[in-house]
Amino acid sequence: MKLQHNLGGLEGLGPVVFQKRVFVQAWEERIFGIHVAMMALSNHLDKAIPQYPIKQVPTTFKDFWTWGHLRMGAEGMNPFDYFRLRYYEKWLGGISGFFVEKGYITAEELDAQTALYLASGNLANAPLPAGGNAAIDTQVVRYLREGDSPKGAYAGTAKFEPGMKVKVKNVPPIDHTRLPGHLRGKVGTIDSVYPDAYGYFFPTSDGIGSPMPVYLVSFDPQDLWGAEKSEPNSIYYDDLFEVYLEAV
Amino acid sequence: MSSYDHFSYDTDREVYSAARARALEALLIKKGVITGSTVDKVLEYFKTEMGPFNGAKIVARAWVDPAFKAKLLDDANAAIAEMDFPAGMSGAEGEHMKVAENTAAVHNVIVCTLCSCYPWTTLGLPPYWFKDPTFRARVVREPRAVLQEFGVTLDPAVQVKVWDSSAQIRWFVLPERPAGTEGMTEAKLSTLVTPEAMMGVAKVKVA
């Protein structure tokens, strides 16, 4: 069991830090931009809905990288580190590790380059390399404009209809899931069926991947947390893939 | 000091991360993965084209145009496509959006308990509090208590709806139009709308 899959309802955390900024350090913007570029240059995009001509884009990036990969890395972290590290610190660790693991860079050159910037004592004035093929940037901006819709063809019909009670399955999540842990085994009501079927970037061991119906499911907080631990006059909704649900 | 204080780190840790991020970017440019301007182009896109300024215009339009509001609640992407925005409103992290309407009787709040799903094209990039595990853990069980901390006190008669995005839909909130704005133009109204109001942790106030 992973704490990252089971955040909902965790107690004893104290007040929320109401930090409204998106980035709190300048370097965080850089790792965000790198992650977006990786998603925009991912080798699966020739099969995405806009059918990007990804093989013709003159980048040396030849891997599959999506939100699913970033999330799976974060879910695989030591849970204490997950809480200890700030959001983009997790990204920096996960993304650097990916590039080393896949052989784009070596740990030694990353350490050496880091030391170079640290030794200069003046990060702001240490220049980044310039140049590169502009067609890479064209693809990155095109990806931002056109996206990577998970919509896909599904031959079957939706199993459940609005108003039906459903039980959330307790499938083992293993490495990655889109089923919040606090819903496992709970009973909810189908509010609506989304008009399109949605896939996921890659198959997970708990059953998502190929396009399937997705439901908006409502839950009575008392059924999730018990009467004492829940607040009155409230409804909790979650979007759930069909494979996570069974008839009651 | 709390042992769980995100925003006061020792300088060494920040300097190291800054050097590390810059080293990674430099190597990726050198190896031809990205160019020397890729990251700047991405950041520029979110500063100038896709940000909460788009969502604010959508909200203002919905306040003044009931037919638009009805369409927005029915098919957000189609309604937004009718407005005058840069190309790409149904692009990355805006492919499939849904809108929850606040009324005198219902208050909505959005969350992503598994990560930080957020409608980028309309709201831009998520603020830190939204990505904070504490917010994500707490708002699903005790939304009224969390809203109170954020300065929103709800009457017990107001129903709270919490929308958790675990699949492919990106939610945002259509806040209530505040009293005292009857004579305002759509453009003026849009200046009142904050990202927090479109996430359901603030009400729109007249400045």
Structure tokens, B118? 């957020």
Question: What are the CA-CA distances from residue B16 to residues A25, A188, B23, B24, B123 (Å)?
Answer: 12, 47, 10, 12, 31
Residues with Cβ within 8 Å of B136's Cβ and at least 6 positions away in sequence, in order, are A7, A8, B111, B112, B113
What pLDDT shows up at residue A173? 79
Calculate mean pLDDT across residues A39-60: 97
Tell me the chain A residues in contact with residue B20 when contact means C-beta distances shorter than 8 Å: 27, 92, 96, 110, 114
| A152-247 fold | SH3 type barrels. (2.30.30)
Average pLDDT of the segment spanning A53-67:
98
Using one digit for the tens of pLDDT, what is the confidence trace for A167-195?
Answer: 999 998 789 999 999 999 999 999 999 99
Question: Does residue A123 have a pLDDT over 80?
Answer: no
A-interface mutation test, from B3, B4, B16, B25, most A Cβ less than 10 A away: B25
DSSP state string for B134-193: HHHHHHTT-HHHHHHHTT-PPPTTSEEEEEE--SS-EEEEEPPPPTT-TT--HHHHHTT-
- pLDDT tens track for A61-119: 999 999 999 999 999 999 999 999 999 999 999 999 999 999 999 999 999 999 989 88
Quote the pLDDT of residue A200.
97
User: Could you say which residues of chain B have pLDDT below 70?
Assistant: 1-11
What tokens does B46 get? Answer: 């979110």
Strands (E), B2-130: 97-101, 106-111
Model pLDDT, residue A139: 98
Query: Domain residue spans in chain A?
Result: 3-149, 152-247
Crossing angle for the helix pair A134-146 and A26-40, to the nearest 10 degrees: 90
Q: Is the dihedral of CA B78, A69, A118, B9 positive or negative?
A: positive
Quick one: closest CA in A to B158, which residue? A233
Contact B134 A14 (CB under 8 A): yes
Please tell me chain B's helix, strand, coil percentages from 3-state DSSP, rounded to the nearest 5.
Answer: 40, 10, 50
**A248 burial via Cβ count (<10 Å: 0-12, 13-18, 19+):** exposed
Buried/exposed code over A95-122 (b: 16+ C-beta within 10 A; e: otherwise): bbebbbeeebbeeeebeebbeebbeeee
pLDDT digits (tens, 9 = 90+) for B145-170: 999 999 999 999 999 999 999 999 99
Query: Is B47 part of the contact surface with chain A (CB cutoff 8 Å)?
Result: no
- The per-residue pLDDT for range A225-237, each reduced to its tens digit, is 999 999 999 999 9
Please give the structure tokens belonging to residue A209. Answer: 């991947």
Nearest CB among B87, B127, B160 relative to A145 is that of B87
Interval A4-11 mean pLDDT: 96
The pLDDT, as a whole number, for residue B122 is 98
pLDDT at A118: 87
Lowest pLDDT segment from A36-45, A173-182, A184-193, A238-247: A173-182
- For residue A143, list chain B residues with Cβ-Cβ distance below 8 A: 91-92
Average pLDDT over chain A reads: 96
pLDDT of B9 reads 55
Collapsing DSSP to helix, strand or coil, A110 comes out as: helix
Check CB contact under 8 Å for A9 and B15.
no
**A104 three-class SS:** coil
**pLDDT at A126 (0 to 100):** 76
Task: Report, as an integer, the average pLDDT of A130-159.
Answer: 97
* Residue numbers in B near A130 (CB within 8 A): 29, 36
- The CATH code of domain B51-190 reads 3.90.330.10
B140/A8 Cβ within 8 A: yes
For chain B, the structural domain boundaries read 11-46, 51-190
Q: Please provide the size of chain A in residues.
A: 248
d(C-alpha A161, C-alpha B175), whole Å: 29
Instruction: Please measure the distance between the N-terminal and C-terminal CA atoms of chain B and give it in whole angstroms.
Output: 34
* Rounded distance between C-alpha atoms, residue A34 and residue A31, angstroms: 5
SS3 category, B23: helix
Give me the pLDDT at residue B3, please: 42
What is the b/e burial string over B69-86, where b = at least 16 CB atoms within 10 angstroms of the residue's CB? bebbeeebbebbeeeebe
CATH topology of domain A3-149: Cyclin A; domain 1 (1.10.472)
Number of Cβ within a 10 Å radius of residue A66: 18
pLDDT confidence of residue A174: 87
Which helix or strand (DSSP H or E) is residue A113 part of? helix A107-120
Across the interface, whether the CB atoms of B24 and A9 are under 8 A apart is answered no
Q: How many CB atoms lie within 10 A of CB A44?
A: 16
Asked if B158 reaches chain A (Cβ–Cβ under 8 Å), the answer is: yes
Calculate the alpha carbon distances from B12 to A59, A128, B16, B185 in Å: 34, 21, 6, 50
**Are B154 and B107 spatial neighbours (Cβ–Cβ below 8 Å)?**
yes
SS (H, E, C) A65-103: CCHHHHHHHHHCCCHHHHHHCCHHHHHHHHHHHHHHHCC
